Amino acid sequence: MALASPSNLLTLHAAGKKVTKDLAYAKSNRYKYGLRATTIPDSSLFKGLSKEDPGPKALPTLTECAVHLEMLEAFQALRQEVIHSAALDKAFNILPEEKTVYRKKWTGTRRQRTYVIESRKIKDTTFATRRNSKWTYFLQIGAERFHQWIQIVNNCLKDHHENNADVSRYLLLPPLDVLMIWHAYLLNCDDFKTYCTTQKLDYVQNIVFPWAEIHAAINPDNWSYTLPLEHADWLRNVGNIDDNLIDALSNTPHTIQTKTITKHPAWRLLCEFDKTPKKAWAENDGNPFIETLSKARSTKKQNAPLVANVERQVIFVDKMHGHRWIRSPAAHGTLRRAVDRYDKFLHLFRLYPNNFLVPTLDVDLVWHTHQCSAENYRQFVTERAGKFINHDDKIGRGTLDNGFTSAEEWYRLAYGEQYQVCLCWTCEAILSAVEKLDDDALASGEATASLSDLSQRVEREVHYYREVETARRLRKALPIWNHG
Ligand SMILES: [Zn+2]
């Protein structure tokens, strides 16, 4: 490494931390702002996206990790949308209750005291909490839809296999709520395998995760997710599965104008979503969406582990959203290094077979990416680590801390490198620039390049990327790069 001045590094690191903190509020007039779209994330990040099966000998690629980050952003955006949707409040009949309190107010003189009754309206303080519960109901319905979806896909794969027909990879693309349930299930490898075996889902068990199709479905400007029209039609025709659960729920008749509409079975079902079902719903008049809702309500106990998987993932999703590597100037470098560090991490299991090892955040991202293609992961990890490693995210804090300390120790011992590294935009951009500098310097024979040039360049770049991200969050026009 050519970066010799630690004080310089520290200053930039501190600035990087501040960037992360200020992101939501920062403002500046340094750039011209325009409607021209920026290229963040850089499209070259997704160049290597392959539709072929990479096989059990390949590590996840940095491209797959980048799509994974996009997908997690889509999950994050979906959760925000569900929680803040007024239409879903109505659908689940979650409304603010205004309470009126009455109290005596004394007036008059000391001798002749009298009182009037005064009324005051109190704001419903439980409303915000009750709104959050929509997310759980949403996942409960998603879990039921997941069971339906995976059966259809498995049957379809079986048909194609038996008839030797080509399978469109879009077949594997579920609606976003289902994708979220599936993804979180895949991260509990053993649970998912048991599920597939007991449900006889032999074909789905071995598939390669549809990264290319997921990437195509996501809009990187606002992280919305849209299925191709043709595929959405197919899902509806073959499986009675709506492509957008928020829309399907919002369009459920729920205005309380007439008696008939109030009694609409879908709405009544949704209103009672958090109550224990006493009897199976009889009024479903053959409507498949109502049947799904009814089933979701009566199977929520069985589906609770699936919902819990997603709830645990929310923490990781929020962390990734916080780091925003997908919009970082060093996205390439961060993900490339993460894949390399993941490979080394897996090898530690072979070197120190009796240790429980906990990954860093970047390593964990690659690990999750790998697990999404269950069978390839199973074979790869058994070969590389000498045994199958089940990813268990249900482990408690204390055990995790011990596992992290061991990993840190063994990693440094085995590779002579730091395990825990700061992963802020600035530190990562410096690292990428220095790596590049070393190569260039070696190639040109110039041993010492200007370090202050490098740090200035990094600072300018990080600043610009931060401004773009801020503008996006404030839904403003994007700044235009003016540094040539
Ligand atoms: Zn840093």
Three-state SS letters, 337-393: HHHHHHHHHHHHHHHCCCCCCCCCHHHHHHHHHHHCCHHHHHHHHHHHHCCCCCCCC
Q: Is residue 232 located within the same domain as residue 301?
A: yes
Q: Is residue 263 located within the same domain as residue 340?
A: no
From the CA of 320, how far away is ligand 1's center (Å)?
15
From the CA of 469, how far away is ligand 1's center (Å)?
18
From the CA of 267, how far away is ligand 1's center (Å)?
50
Q: What is the DSSP letter of 313?
A: H
pLDDT the model gives residue 26: 45
Q: Is residue 368 located within the same domain as residue 297?
A: no
Residue 197 exposed, middle or buried by CB count within 10 Å (0-12, 13-18, 19+): exposed
From the CA of 9, how far away is ligand 1's center (Å)?
9
Helix (H) or strand (E) run with residue 193 in it? helix 189-198
Q: Is residue 200 located within the same domain as residue 305?
A: yes
Residue 86 lies in a domain: no
From the CA of 339, how far away is ligand 1's center (Å)?
19
Residue 126 lies in a domain: no
From the CA of 189, how far away is ligand 1's center (Å)?
33
Residue 116 lies in a domain: no
CA distances to 18, 131, 265, 273 from 260, rounded to whole Å, are 57, 26, 10, 20
From the CA of 428, how far away is ligand 1's center (Å)?
7
From the CA of 224, how far away is ligand 1's center (Å)?
30
Domain boundary among 252, 277, 312: 312
pLDDT the model gives residue 4: 46
- CB–CB of 176/218 below 8 Å? no
From the CA of 11, how far away is ligand 1's center (Å)?
9
Domain boundary among 250, 277, 312: 312
Q: Which SS3 state, helix, strand or coil, does residue 476 take?
A: coil
Residue 301 lies in a domain: yes
Q: Is residue 287 located within the same domain as residue 364?
A: no
Spatial separation of the C-alpha atoms in residues 284 and 264, rounded to whole Å: 10
Spatial separation of the C-alpha atoms in residues 285 and 266, rounded to whole Å: 10
pLDDT the model gives residue 9: 67
From the CA of 14, how far away is ligand 1's center (Å)?
7
From the CA of 423, how far away is ligand 1's center (Å)?
6
Spatial separation of the C-alpha atoms in residues 235 and 243, rounded to whole Å: 7
From the CA of 337, how far away is ligand 1's center (Å)?
15
Q: Is residue 137 located within the same domain as residue 274?
A: yes
Residue 93 lies in a domain: no
pLDDT the model gives residue 62: 94
Place of tokens 């996501």: 218
Question: Residues near 81 by Cβ (< 8 Å), separated by ≥ 6?
Answer: 246
From the CA of 18, how far away is ligand 1's center (Å)?
9
From the CA of 422, how far away is ligand 1's center (Å)?
5
Domain count, the chain: 2
Residues with CB in 5 Å of ion ligand 1: 13, 16, 422, 424, 427
From the CA of 30, how far away is ligand 1's center (Å)?
23
| Enclosing domain of residue 355 | 2-60+328-480
Which stretches of the chain drop beneath a pLDDT of 50?
1-4, 24, 26-27, 257, 447
Q: Is residue 335 located within the same domain as residue 305?
A: no
From the CA of 398, how far away is ligand 1's center (Å)?
26
From the CA of 364, how far away is ligand 1's center (Å)?
19
Name the percent of the chain in helix, strand, coil, to the closest 5. Answer: 60, 5, 35
Q: Is residue 251 located within the same domain as residue 387?
A: no
pLDDT the model gives residue 447: 46
From the CA of 227, how far away is ligand 1's center (Å)?
37
Residue 176 lies in a domain: yes
Q: Please state the pTM of the whole predicted model.
A: 0.86
From the CA of 42, how far away is ligand 1's center (Å)?
22
Q: What is the DSSP letter of 26?
A: -
From the CA of 21, how far away is ligand 1's center (Å)?
12
To 5 degrees, how large is the angle CA 162–CA 167–CA 173? 125
From the CA of 435, how far away is ligand 1's center (Å)?
16
From the CA of 444, how far away is ligand 1's center (Å)?
30
Spatial separation of the C-alpha atoms in residues 272 and 266, rounded to whole Å: 10
Q: Is residue 456 located within the same domain as residue 395?
A: yes
Domain boundary among 259, 288, 312: 312
Residue 215 lies in a domain: yes
Residue 76 lies in a domain: no
pLDDT digits (tens, 9 = 90+) for 185-234: 999 999 999 999 999 999 998 889 999 999 999 998 889 999 999 999 99
Q: Is residue 468 located within the same domain as residue 394?
A: yes
Q: Is residue 143 located within the same domain as residue 246?
A: yes
Q: Is residue 422 located within the same domain as residue 461?
A: yes
